[in-house]
Amino acid sequence: MRTGIRAPVSTAVAIAVGFLVLISLLIPGLEDLRNQILNWAILLAAIALLLGLANLFQVHFNKVRDREKPVYSSILLVAMLVTFGLTLWQGSQGDVPKWIFNNLQLPIETGLMAVLAVSLTIAAARFFQSRSDLMGFVFIGALFIALLAAAPVFGLELPIFTQVVGPIINSLSISAARGLLIGVGLGTLATGLRILLGADRPYGG
């Protein structure tokens, strides 16, 4: 059995669908077609998410089978299957899924975010180790101003930062952020066009 679909088919699909959606975004009259394609894409993305779930399951099932840190992987598998089954059964607003979300998932996730406070402090404290040039000084200097402008420090108000220097730094960074965003937009535009031109074929074409 030959299972490969020839690349031109995939490339043609990507280009045709991509241009259709793009044209429908730029000129009016094709909204129905676009919505149709977007509905398919939303459905396919959801199915892809399930394939992701299957991949996660497979990777960790294999680890359990191969006795490669099986405790961790079996915890993951049990947690995944129980949450999946219960949420499907009761609905995402059901009591048990809500309990799991509020008392298990949320504390860990906010906890990980809280750990970031330490990780980022360490990163900033070690910043000069890797970068002791002018830009390093500018970064740390601006970081100090931005931090000191945020709130009183050890209970002491520092109006020079909150009312004078802080707003200046903020205003400059808003303008520079605009430049950064336009640049990101240009990069996005070019990257998207490469897919539509068939020059980039990440779908295996």
Partner 1 sequence: MSISPEVLVALALFFILLFSVWGRNNPRRVFRSIKAFKELQRNIELSVEDGSRLQIGLGSGGLLGPQSAAAFAGLTLLRQVADIASDSDQPPIATTGDGALMLLAQDTLRSTYRRLGIREQFNSKLGRVTGLTPFSHAAGALPLILDRSVLGSALIGSYGNEVGLIAGASQRANGFTTGGSDRLSTQAILFAAADEPLIGEEIYATGAYTNAGAAHQASLRSQDLLRWILIALLIITALAPLFEGSQIVQ
Partner 2 sequence: MPSDLLSQAGIVAAALLTLITLSYAFGDHPVFRIVLYLFIGIAAGYAGAIAIEDVILPQLVFPVLDAWNGVFQIAPADLIVRVVLSALLLLKLSPRAANLGNPVTALLAGVGAALAIGGAVQGTILPQVGAAVTTFNAAQFDLAMQGGHYGESIQVVVEGTILLLATVSTLAYFHFGATARGSQPPLRPIVVDGLAWVGSIFIVITLATLFAGVLLAALSALIERLSFLVGVANMLMGQ
Partner 3 sequence: MSYQSSQDPEDRLPDWLKALRKRQSEEPKEEAKPAQPSQPPAAEGEDTEPTWLREIRERHRREQPTDEELLAEERALTDTQPTAPIKPLEKRRIETPFEPIELEKPVEKIPEPVSKIPDWLTLDEHGESSAAEETADEFTQPEKRTPAFADMEAEALSPGELPSWLQAIRPSETFPEEDNRSEEMLPSSEETAGPLAGLVGVLPAEPEIVQFGKPPVFSARLDVTESQARHAAAFSRLVAAEGRPREDLGRQVALPTRVLNWIISAAVFLAVLFPLIVQSQGTPRPEVDAVQFAASTNIFNAIDVLPPNAPVLIAFEVQPALYGELSAPAAAVLSHLLDKQARLVFISTQPTGPALADRLLQEHLSAAPSVATGDYVNLGYLSGGMAALRSFTSDPRTATLSAAAAVQNPWQSTSLLAVGQLRDFAMVFVITSEAEDGRAWIEQAGSSLPQGLYIVGSTQSAPLLKPYLLSDPPTLRGLVDGFGGATFYERLRNTDGLGRTYWDAFSYGLGAIVLLILLGGLYSRLIHLRPEKPAAQTEGKSA
| Span 106-125, contacts to partner 1 by CB under 8 A | 109, 112-113, 115-116, 119-120, 122-124
Give the number of other Cβ atoms within 10 Å of residue 52's Cβ: 10
Which residue has 């089978």 as its token pair?
Answer: 65
SS3 156: strand
d(CA 92, CA 96): 9
The neighbour count for residue 70, using CB atoms within 10 Å, is 14
Q: Does 17 bind partner 1 (CB under 8 A)?
A: no
Rounded Cα distance between 100 and 164, Å, is: 47
Of 47, 45, 73, the residue nearest 59 (C-alpha) = 73
Please tell me whether residue 98 binds partner 3 under the rule CB under 8 A: yes
Q: Which is nearer to partner 3, 50 or 106 (CB)?
A: 106
Q: How far is the CB of 78 from partner 3 (least distance, A)?
A: 19
Binding residues for partner 1 restricted to 23-42, rule: CB under 8 A:
26-27, 38, 41-42
Residues lying near partner 1 in the complex (CB under 8 A) are found at: 22, 26-27, 38, 41-42, 44-45, 47-53, 55-56, 58-59, 62, 72, 109, 112-113, 115-116, 119-120, 122-124, 126-127, 130, 139, 177, 180-184, 186-195, 197, 199-205
